[in-house]
Structure 1
């Protein structure tokens, strides 16, 4: 017997709410990072540059996002899908990304790190919380109020990728940044798959944090050959995920109910 329990939300999910939060978080990060006066390409020069240029904005963003989700009353739909994907095998793509991250860390020149710089770089792990809460959390909940899951995946992932263009305003070169957007779409799809297969955003947060930290770490000093192999593996997994994401979209029942409540689970 199937019984549907309703979860009363404080604020009814709307597409415009998700988009407004996406824009606001992007502008907040841009403002805090710009106020530091440290160009994007100088973040890796010292622990102080890294913390003020990137870490501080992540701390501020994480606090404000936690408050926002609480005020909306969206914690459950943000962190949990009602049902996991019927196809579990696509988890191979995020697993390969995790393996690639380990390879990057294995190839990292840890001798180039000071204790202070390592501490500052660990703050970057907060990106797993902030970017996932916005893009595969709040934005997905908002989009599910009106759209089918195929559009939910595409739009949330595309906006995640496009958000990286803000780096140009911070001093990054346009060419590599545009290429970063393309790769971000592929990697973002693996994070989406991980949410659908596990039914939880938490795993995507952890993988996102691990991947971003490993990429940054491998970029300090002279990385070993195994890091290059890891980058190739991650690229293959990401673009394969885009091809096969349809298998975690088919048969989904995550569309939010009308009104101020949504079916939270089925037994």
Structure 2
């Protein structure tokens, strides 16, 4: 690693990412409740902001030399069964897809949603359960690493209030995303890589957009499954943390890289 991980660096990365993405979305002039109302809105407000945020995150990881620890744990969690929690969220996503009227989407809209999914899965996971996680592991035990990275993931969504979302659903979203983020953390620990969490995050967010835009009579069935996944994640996370030895290993940088 070119730069030794520090907690303050992770906090600075998180703040910078949230500020940049939020500012770009606000400048688009599209209120949060209308983000998925059309392909044009998705491209203008979400894809543009996430693209810039992703580029900045990737550049930061390269400069710091944190790519490997951000994407992979040294060891998988000894207990694999907690993966049930994120798998339940995958089931909820599939139910959302089943409750979507796909005839209302054209190719352009589907491409916009697919691009959005890839970007949000990368950016939100790489920032919180990637770079922030590496920074937290430099000083804190794994229990605090889980809690604080998941809390920061939840608080990342609090800015939706300033983009036009009402206060009550915003607070609910913060709590729910904390719990779902715990599921993504479990997926990283049980598989040993952040890539599967990125993929599930992308699938879940795409499914919530599609079912909200074009619901059928099956829409809404995923809600209880989503909450079950959140509850299971918080209940199971102890066994994903137990036995973890992922404190960031700092080595002396090669002088040629300085």
Bin for the TM-score computed over the shorter chain: over 0.9
CA apart distance, 1:214: 0.5
Q: Distance in 2 between matches of 1:222 and 1:181?
A: 24
Q: Distance in 2 between matches of 1:151 and 1:30?
A: 27
Q: Distance in 2 between matches of 1:170 and 1:187?
A: 22
CA apart distance, 1:258: 5.0
Q: Distance in 2 between matches of 1:248 and 1:174?
A: 33
Which residue, 136, 139, 145 being the options, matches 2:138?
145
What residue is the counterpart of 1:158 in the other structure? Answer: 151
Q: Distance in 2 between matches of 1:249 and 1:173?
A: 35
CA apart distance, 1:228: 2.2
Question: Mind listing any 5+ residue stretches in structure 1 that lack a counterpart?
Answer: 1-8, 262-267
Which residue, 24, 27, 31 being the options, matches 2:23?
31
Q: Distance in 2 between matches of 1:52 and 1:260?
A: 43
Question: Mind listing any 5+ residue stretches in structure 2 that lack a counterpart?
Answer: 254-258
CA apart distance, 1:135: 0.4
CA apart distance, 1:172: 1.1
CA apart distance, 1:217: 0.7
TM-score (norm 2): 0.94
Q: Distance in 1 between matches of 2:186 and 2:227?
A: 15
Q: Distance in 1 between matches of 2:49 and 2:20?
A: 8
> What secondary structure, in the 3-state scheme, does the structure 2 residue paired with 1:44 have?
coil
Which residue, 211, 224, 230 being the options, matches 1:218?
211
Is the Cα–Cα contact under 8 Å of residues 86 and 187 in structure 2 kept in the other structure? yes
Whether 1:102 and 2:90 are equivalent positions in the alignment is no
| Higher share in strand | 1
Whether 1:80 and 2:72 are equivalent positions in the alignment is yes
CA apart distance, 1:186: 1.0
TM-score (norm 1): 0.91
Greater shift after overlay, 109-118 or 182-191?
109-118
> What secondary structure, in the 3-state scheme, does the structure 1 residue paired with 2:160 have?
helix
After TM superposition, what 4+ stretches of structure 1 lie above 6 angstroms from structure 2? none
Deviations 1:139-180 (A, max 9, x none): 000000000000000000001001101111111111111101
Q: Distance in 1 between matches of 2:177 and 2:252?
A: 33
Is the Cα–Cα contact under 8 Å of residues 88 and 228 in structure 2 kept in the other structure? no
What residue is the counterpart of 2:188 in the other structure? Answer: 195
